C-alpha cells in the first residue's frame, strides 16, 4: 500500500459512487435527511484533488493529510467517521516499512475499530457499521491465516453485500418502539450501501490486478 495506491482507489470509488448516487440519495431520503451521498462525493473529490500534494509523501504523512482533508471538508457523520478512519490508519505502527497484505489488513482493522468507537455503533443498528464490522472481522481472520488472498477478497465482497442487504429489515427486527422504526423497515441503510460499494470496488481491483 502506498499513497498513490490510495489515490487510484479513490478515483475508482468515485466512478462507482457517482454511478450509484441516485440510488443512495433515494435511500437516504426514505429514512434520513438526504445529505449522505453529497458528503461521500465531496470527500472523494477532495481526496482525488490532493493527488499532486501528497503522491510522493510517505504513507503515514499522506494518510494524515487525507484525514485532515476529509475531516475538515466533508461534515456530517461521514466526515467524522471517515476522518477518524484515516487518522487511525495513520497510527498503525511500522508504516515506514514495506506494507504487505497482512499489514494492510491491520491498518483497515485499526481504522474500522476507531470508527466503531467514534460512532458508538455496533452491528444491528442499521448503519455503515453493519457492513464494516463483519468485513473487519474477516480481515482479521485472513491476516493470521495462510489463505489465498484473492479467495479471501471474494469472500469479503460477499460478506459486504449480504450485510448491506441485511440492513433492510433491521429496525423492525430490533423492535424499536417508535413509528419511525416501523416505517424505516424495507429500506437499506444508505451508509451501509455506500460502504459496501467502496469495499466491493477495492476488492475487485485487487483481485483483477
Partner 1 sequence: MKKFINNVDDFLKESLSGFGKAHSDIIKVNFEPNFISRKTKTKEGKVSLISGGGSGHEPMHGGFVGHGMLDAACPGFVFSAPTPDQMQAAAEHVDSGAGVLFIVKNYSGDIMNFQMGAEMYSGKNDSIITNDDVAVEDSTFTTGRRGVAATVLVEKIVGSLAENGGSLEECKKLGEKVNKNSGTMGVAFTSCTVPAAGKPTFDIGNDEMEFGVGIHGEPGRKREKIQPSKKIVNNMLEAILDDLKLQKNEKTLLFINGMGGTPLTELYLVYDDACEILKSKGIEITRSLVGNYCTSLEMQGASVTLLKCDEEILKNWDAPVHTAAMRWGM
* CB of residue 39 to partner 1, shortest distance in Å: 6
Which region among 53-61, 119-127, 129-137, 140-148 touches partner 1 (by CB under 8 A)? Answer: 119-127
User: Contacting partner 1 (CB under 8 A), which of 19, 148, 162, 180?
Assistant: 180
84 binds partner 1 (CB under 8 A): yes
20 binds partner 1 (CB under 8 A): no
Distance CA 94, CA 91 (A): 9
Binding mask 32-71 for partner 1 (x = CB under 8 A): xxxx--xx----------------------------x--x
Please give the DSSP secondary-structure letter assigned to residue 126.
S
- Look-up: residue for cell 457499521? 129
User: Contacting partner 1 (CB under 8 A), which of 57, 80, 172, 206?
Assistant: 80
Which residues, including other chains, have CB under 8 Å from residue 182's CB and lie 6 or more apart?
171, 172
* CB of residue 176 to partner 1, shortest distance in Å: 5
User: Contacting partner 1 (CB under 8 A), which of 140, 181, 205, 206?
Assistant: 181
Q: Which C-beta is closer to partner 1: that of 196 or that of 201?
A: 196
| Residue 10 CB neighbours (<10 A) | 22
| Residue 127 CB neighbours (<10 A) | 24
Q: Which C-beta is closer to partner 1: that of 1 or that of 131?
A: 131
Q: Which C-beta is closer to partner 1: that of 105 or that of 112?
A: 112
Which residues, including other chains, have CB under 8 Å from residue 176's CB and lie 6 or more apart?
none
Distance CA 114, CA 14 (A): 24
Q: Which three cell numbers stand for residue 87?
A: 487518522
Identify the sign of the CA torsion 44, 114, 36, 71: negative
Q: Which three cell numbers stand for residue 172?
A: 423492525
Sites of contact with partner 1 (CB under 8 A)? 25, 29, 31-35, 38-39, 68, 71-81, 83-84, 118-120, 126, 176-181, 183-184, 189
Amino acid at each position: 500500500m502506498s499513497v498513490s495506491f490510495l489515490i487510484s482507489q479513490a478515483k475508482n470509488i468515485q466512478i462507482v459512487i457517482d454511478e450509484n448516487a441516485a440510488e443512495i440519495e433515494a435511500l437516504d431520503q426514505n429514512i434520513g435527511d438526504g445529505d449522505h451521498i453529497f458528503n461521500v462525493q465531496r470527500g472523494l473529490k477532495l481526496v482525488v484533488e490532493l493527488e499532486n500534494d501528497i503522491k510522493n509523501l510517505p504513507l503515514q504523512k499522506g494518510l494524515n493529510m487525507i484525514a485532515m482533508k476529509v475531516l475538515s471538508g466533508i461534515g456530517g457523520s461521514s466526515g467524522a467517521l471517515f476522518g477518524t478512519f484515516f487518522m487511525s490508519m495513520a497510527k498503525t505502527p511500522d508504516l515506514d516499512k514495506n506494507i504487505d497484505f497482512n499489514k494492510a489488513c491491520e491498518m483497515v482493522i485499526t481504522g474500522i475499530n476507531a470508527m466503531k468507537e467514534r460512532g458508538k455503533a455496533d452491528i444491528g443498528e442499521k448503519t455503515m457499521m453493519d457492513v464494516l464490522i463483519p468485513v473487519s472481522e474477516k480481515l482479521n481472520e485472513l491476516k493470521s491465516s495462510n489463505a489465498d488472498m484473492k479467495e479471501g477478497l471474494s469472500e469479503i465482497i460477499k460478506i459486504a453485500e449480504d450485510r448491506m442487504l441485511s440492513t433492510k429489515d433491521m429496525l423492525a427486527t430490533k423492535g424499536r418502539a417508535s413509528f419511525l422504526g416501523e416505517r424505516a423497515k424495507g429500506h437499506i441503510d444508505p451508509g451501509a450501501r455506500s460502504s459496501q460499494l467502496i469495499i466491493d470496488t477495492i476488492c475487485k481491483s485487487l483481485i483483477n490486478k
